[in-house]
Amino acid sequence: MIEKYRDFPREITVLKAILRRFTLNPQLQSELESKLSRKLAGYKGERELDYHLSQFDHTRFYILHDLRIPHNKTHFQIDSLLISDTFMLIIDSKNYAGTLDFYPEFNYLLQTFNGIEKVYPDPILQTRTQASQLKSFLIKHHFSPPPIEFLVSISNSQAIIRNPGNNQDVRIRVCKTPAVAYKVQSFSDKYHNEILSVKDIRKITKLLLKSHEPYIPDIPSMNLPMDQVQTGVQCPECQQIGMKKIYGSWICGKCGHLSKDAQIDALRDFFIIFGPAITSRQFTDFLHISSIHQSKRLLSALDLDSTGCKKGRIYTPGKNFPLWD
């Protein structure tokens, strides 16, 4: 059973907001664009893993997708964790393209793609490290951890996996995503002793869910030109920024599209860039609204909490405001 579904990565939402709202120097622009495309490809690979995991009978497993757990002044991240009464399995998803030569004896992976060679840290070592961090986290919280296995899932269907050193770890611990279910079974066949009771598993699951801290990039540390942010409401149809509020709708001056709720995305961009608090004056300026009364009407119709009164009133996202959806 699935105890935690994968959330849409907040980092992608933040990167998109930055690329939408700032004119950046070409170097930073291309850096953030390639980071965004890497993150999108990574998320696609993780979804692929979720799909293949959902295809096998997983009734004996408690499954938690996408965990980021604080431990020893840092965090460790797990793409998918399967917990049974006899063992745990960590699965790390990689979406690398091209030919992948694994050299675990030297702790690296060599990717050859379109004639270009690139070296990455060994994903088996990374996943092994996650397993030892999880073990130490469980011990710290007074659990006796069961054996923790780990697996690297390569989601890119065109990728060629090679094992030049004929290394046993690569054979056992690396596979294409569609083969994950069979690997789960072969790990499962190794363990017969019940180490965790259902009660233990429930407690561990609860602890992991409670400890999970999604990663959000820290905008102030990114040296963005905060005084040059592009304000206005973006057209959901043609992406032009600068829709105008006419009667009950927003109208796009470029393509003529009408929207009733384009203010939500604009407000979300504001919260992401400047932090989760806004005054009606800031809202008026950021969304290019002609009157503060109209702003107050729009704000009061949204799911926001507010503190203070009159001009000092500050609005923050309410429980159901779609900040990260």
Interface with Zn ion, residue 20, by CB under 5 A = no
Rounded to a whole number of angstroms, the minimum distance from the CB of residue 263 to Zn ion is 15
Give the pair of three-digit tokens for residue 98.
């091209």
The 206-235 contact track toward Zn ion, x by CB under 5 A, reads: -----------------------------x
DSSP state, 168? H
- Which among 22-30, 36-44, 224-232, 252-260 is the span making contact with Zn ion, rule CB under 5 A? 252-260
Interface with Zn ion, residue 238, by CB under 5 A = yes
User: Which of these, 100, 147, 138, lies nearest to 120 by C-alpha position?
Assistant: 100
Interface with Zn ion, residue 257, by CB under 5 A = yes
Q: Are the CB atoms for 98 and 112 separated by under 8 Å?
A: yes
DSSP per residue over 68-93, as a string? EEEETTEEEEEEEEEE-SS-EEEEEE
Residue of 254, 281, 293, 297 interacting with Zn ion (CB under 5 A): 254
As a whole number of angstroms, the distance between CA 225 and CA 137 comes to 40
Rounded to a whole number of angstroms, the minimum distance from the CB of residue 257 to Zn ion is 4
Q: Which is nearer to Zn ion, 175 or 243 (CB)?
A: 243
Interface with Zn ion, residue 285, by CB under 5 A = no
Interface with Zn ion, residue 278, by CB under 5 A = no
Interface with Zn ion, residue 253, by CB under 5 A = no
User: Which of these, 71, 70, 72, 69, lies nearest to 81 by C-alpha position?
Assistant: 69
As a whole number of angstroms, the distance between CA 285 and CA 291 comes to 10
Q: Which is nearer to Zn ion, 85 or 237 (CB)?
A: 237
As a whole number of angstroms, the distance between CA 286 and CA 197 comes to 54
- Which among 79-87, 90-98, 225-233, 237-245 is the span making contact with Zn ion, rule CB under 5 A? 237-245
